[in-house]
Amino acid sequence: MQRIIPMLLTSIVGVIAIASYFVPVAQPFQDRVEEWFLIVAAIAMVLGAASLLLHHLKAISNQEAGWGYSAVTVAALVITTTVGLLKLGAPPDLKHPELAWSGSYLAEGGGAWWIYTYVMSPIVATMFSLLAFYVASAAFRAFRARNFEAMLLLGTALIVLLGRTSDGTWLTSGVPADYPLATIPGLNVLIMSVFNTAGQRAIMIGIALGVAATSLRILLGLDRSYLGGD
């Protein structure tokens, strides 16, 4: 019963979603299902946070390897949630200055705003910025023409790298306008809009067919992996 009811729910909702594309009568059901989705998603977020908390508390309690990271995760979760929910430090709304909690939890100067601006933003931005250093090191050590395929990749990369800067335009600025494919920007456009687009379309169609097949298996109850079992 624990598996049959979720399977039935999944199949019914899935069939409604598909039918609504073809049968106008089913459209109101589809709209209602989408509204429910938002409510279920909100509940799932709470469940997810609780599950995360339990998992890391267990790791701390058992002093598992890397439990210090779990402690940081728990501290971050608890502090951020508390500061946000209680609107700690958040100034009241200008329209209602007499009401302490009338302002937005993310209002400038508030605790949640401070965490976002001075903790989260620099951490995330630093992580992405570090990529430039590692990509440069990797380009020097690994991006080498060891065989024909690697040579093709290398040539394409150099054209795209140059084509993404004004150097590409400058280097081939002497080429007459009648021969765009003899310029680096022209070659860049050719690579991106012909070879890249053809490859991307093939991948997209493949993914779409895969999604359709998997969805059908789920709707028919053949694929039950989403229930956490076989």
Partner 1 sequence: MTTLTAILASLQRLDRRWIFLAMLIAVLIPVLTRVTYPETPTAMTSAVFNKIESLPSGSRVLLPLDYDPGSEAELGPMAKAVIRHCALKRHKMYFLTLWPTGLPLLERNLRQIVEGEFKEVGLKYGVDYVNLGYVPGEAVAVKLLATDFRKARGQDNTGTSLDRLPMMQQVRSAQDMDLIMAISAGYPGVKEWVLFAAIPNRIPLGMGVTGVTAPQMYPYYPNQVVGLITAIKGAAEYETALAAAYPDEMSRLDASGIQRMGPQLWAHRLMIVLIVIGNILQLTRGRGGRK
Contacts to partner 1 by CB under 8 A: 31, 34-35, 37-38, 41-42, 93, 104, 106, 113, 116-117, 120-121, 124-125, 127-129, 132-133, 135-137, 139-141, 143-146, 154, 157-158, 161-162, 164-167, 169, 185, 189, 192-193, 196-197, 200-201, 204
> Is 117 or 225 the residue whose CB approaches partner 1 more closely?
117
Minimum CB separation of residue 125 from partner 1 in Å reads: 5
Q: How many CB atoms lie under 10 A from the CB of residue 160?
A: 16
Say which DSSP state 165 is in. S
> Is 59 or 107 the residue whose CB approaches partner 1 more closely?
107
Say which DSSP state 220 is in. T
Return the SS3 of 198.
helix
Minimum CB separation of residue 143 from partner 1 in Å reads: 5
Q: At what angle do helices 27-61 and 4-22 cross, to 10 degrees?
A: 140
C-alpha closest to that of 83 among 51, 61, 58, 116: 116
Instruction: Check if the beta carbon of residue 144 is closer than 8 Å to that of residue 137.
Output: no
Minimum CB separation of residue 2 from partner 1 in Å reads: 26
Minimum CB separation of residue 65 from partner 1 in Å reads: 28
